[in-house]
């Protein structure tokens, strides 16, 4: 079940909350940019919320974060975190975001405590994320998440379902390579690093490909072996799709993953964005086809 929304659906009530209505109960996370707290809010009963505090260093950054947070409030999708409200503490240059609270941890935490996942579970999580990305990519202007990784996926429904979170990395497309913020290095699409190709929504397909690979290859990191050395998947050594496909196959086939699954991951991890599945809608189709074939005991 998704977390209870409580009075969250009464949008009007969100416009009137102030900083003094927030009562912290526990710090959940101390991040690079700020902290996340569990909290209750006066007027919203016992419902637990998560509040993200974003500390800004300039007035321009503060205005930009607040403007973006207000805009993100309108996004609503089953597999995307819901932002209920954005508040500002101008004196401290802090933007506060009131979100749904998820009590089942993030996928990054989960995979550090479990073994590899089976193909069905990986594809199911991939499909859920792909639907959230399709929702973002089909906004006008298109939005790219730009920081898809297990720590930004929160589990629910007894760890069978995910929501994509950390919407602060979202960027409106199109976006020039030199004006974009990068996500997290190891999960970052090659086009962020080579600073030549434009950044497009295809960057999210690449990062989701890394997630699928890591879930299949646990406990290893987003790296593969070439010539006796481990190289991150965005390393230029993997520019040749053929070398990548071979290494992926050697790494995943002995673990029992299907050819269709390995081919899909290889396609998502193409360094040339134009060679990846053409959209997340296409990606959803490809994942669904593999899941259907697996269910029917067929080979595709
Ligand atoms: N709504 C939420 N409910 C429960 N836990 C949350 C929620 N939002 C974030 N968290 C926890 O806090 C962590 C960091 O959140 P988030 O990614 O939004 O912040 P961040 O600024 O990117 O932090 P970091 O620098 O650590 O990545 C998540 O990985 C998750 O464990
Ligand atoms: Mg994060």
Q: Does domain 107-295 have CATH number 3.90.650.10?
A: no
Over residues 167-181, the mean pLDDT reads 79
The pLDDT assigned to 1 comes to 59
Burial zone of 235 (CB within 10 Å; 0-12 exposed, 13-18 middle, 19+ buried): middle
The pLDDT assigned to 86 comes to 96
The pLDDT assigned to 178 comes to 59
Taking the CA of residue 99 as reference, the ligand 1 atom at the shortest distance is: 1
Q: Whose CA is nearest to atom 5 of ligand 1?
A: 102
Q: What is the dihedral of CA 64, 65, 68, 73, to 10 degrees?
A: -150
pLDDT level of residue 16 (50, 70, 90 thresholds): confident
Least confident of 11-15, 118-122, 195-199, 261-265: 11-15
The answer to whether 71 and 53 are in contact (CB under 8 A) is no
The pLDDT assigned to 46 comes to 92
The pLDDT assigned to 260 comes to 97
Query: Would you say residue 32 has pLDDT above 50?
Result: yes
Q: Which helix (H) or strand (E) holds 90?
A: none
Which of the listed residues 151, 182, 211 should we mutate to test ligand 1's pocket, taking the one with most ligand atoms within 8 A of CB?
151
The pLDDT assigned to 289 comes to 98
Number of neighbouring beta carbons within 10 Å of residue 177: 15
The pLDDT assigned to 179 comes to 60
The answer to whether 153 and 129 are in contact (CB under 8 A) is yes
Q: Which residue has the higher pLDDT, 155 or 6?
A: 155
Per-residue model confidence as pLDDT tens digits over 66-96: 999 999 999 999 999 999 999 999 999 999 9
Which ligand is the nearest neighbour of the Cα of 33? Answer: 1
For residue 241, the CA-to-ligand 1 centroid distance in Å is 34
**In the chain, what are the domain boundaries?**
8-100, 107-295
pLDDT level of residue 9 (50, 70, 90 thresholds): very low
Least confident of 125-139, 147-161, 183-197, 237-251: 183-197
The answer to whether 82 and 50 are in contact (CB under 8 A) is no
The pLDDT assigned to 2 comes to 62
What is the chain's alpha carbon radius of gyration, rounded to the nearest angstrom?
A: 20
CATH of region 8-100? 3.30.200.20
The pLDDT assigned to 29 comes to 92
pLDDT level of residue 130 (50, 70, 90 thresholds): very high
- pTM here? 0.94
CA–CA distance, 222 with 178 (Å, rounded to integer):
25
The pLDDT assigned to 131 comes to 98
Number of neighbouring beta carbons within 10 Å of residue 274: 9
CA–CA distance, 152 with 164 (Å, rounded to integer):
6
Query: Would you say residue 182 has pLDDT above 80?
Result: no
- What mean pLDDT value characterizes the chain? 91
The pLDDT assigned to 226 comes to 87
Please name which of 182, 173, 181, 176 lies closest in space to residue 196, comparing C-alpha atoms.
176
Taking the CA of residue 106 as reference, the ligand 1 atom at the shortest distance is: 31
């Amino acid at each position: 079940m998704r977390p209870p929304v409580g009075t969250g659906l009464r949008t009007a009530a969100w416009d009137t909350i102030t900083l003094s209505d927030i009562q912290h109960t526990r710090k959940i996370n101390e991040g690079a940019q700020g902290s996340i707290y569990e909290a209750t809010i006066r007027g919203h009963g016992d419902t637990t919320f998560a509040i993200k505090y974003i500390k800004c260093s300039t007035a321009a950054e503060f205005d930009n974060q607040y403007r973006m947070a207000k805009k993100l409030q309108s996004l609503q999708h089953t597999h995307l975190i819901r932002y209920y409200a954005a508040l500002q503490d101008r004196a401290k240059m802090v933007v506060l975001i009131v979100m749904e609270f998820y009590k089942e941890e993030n996928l990054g935490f989960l995979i550090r405590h479990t073994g590899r996942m089976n193909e069905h579970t990986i594809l199911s999580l991939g499909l859920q994320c792909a639907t959230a990305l399709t929702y973002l990519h089909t906004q006008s202007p298109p939005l790219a998440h730009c920081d898809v990784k297990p720590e930004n996926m929160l589990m629910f429904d007894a760890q069978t379902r995910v929501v994509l979170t950390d919407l602060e990395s979202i960027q409106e497309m199109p976006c020039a390579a030199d004006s974009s913020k990068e996500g997290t290095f190891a999960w970052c699409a090659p086009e962020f690093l080579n600073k030549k190709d434009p950044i497009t929504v295809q960057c999210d397909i690449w990062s989701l490909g890394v997630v699928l690979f890591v879930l299949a290859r646990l406990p290893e990191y987003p790296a593969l072996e070439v010539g006796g050395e481990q190289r991150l998947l965005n390393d230029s050594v993997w520019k040749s799709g053929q070398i990548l496909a071979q290494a992926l196959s050697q790494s995943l086939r002995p673990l029992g993953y299907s050819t269709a699954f390995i081919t899909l991951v290889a396609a998502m991890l193409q360094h040339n964005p134009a060679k990846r599945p053409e959209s997340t809608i296409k990606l959803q189709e490809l994942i669904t086809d593999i899941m259907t074939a697996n269910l029917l005991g067929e080979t595709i």
